[in-house]
Amino acid sequence: MSNPLDTVFAALADPTRRAILTMLLEDDMAVTDVAEPFEISLAAISKHLMILSRAGLIAQEKRGRVKWCKLQPDAMRTTSVWMQGFGQFEPVNLEAFERFLEVELGDNSAS
């Protein structure tokens, strides 16, 4: 997908990836810690993380022997601006948008 908006929405379409983003709202996490609560392989989690990374929603970096994941909330800026165009959303600053995502993603990951 060449359109960044399409890439972000495609990444957000999967419930496992939304759950991962919710986990990363708290703090940076090692890949193995991200994988722990899921009943899928580490390779499957790595694929989900690659999709989130390509969408710009997370960053991954190696610290010593451990690969860490960090939420990149600025990646939602384009998505937020696009949604505001529908007039259903008030102008959103990043902090408010992060709180919105925490509530929305938290509710969706429980279902």
The number of CA neighbours under 13 Å toward the Cβ of 1 is 13
Which pLDDT tens digits describe the chain residue by residue (111 residues)?
568 889 999 999 999 999 999 999 999 999 999 999 999 999 999 999 999 999 999 999 999 999 999 999 888 888 888 877 776 655 557 777 778 778 877 755 444
How far apart (Å, rounded) are the C-alpha atoms in residues 41 and 108? 22
Q: Where are the alpha helices (DSSP H) in the chain?
A: 4-12, 15-26, 31-35, 42-54, 77-84, 94-110
Count of positions (residues) in the chain: 111
Domains and CATH numbers, the chain: 4-105 (1.10.10.10)
65: its two tokens: 């022997």
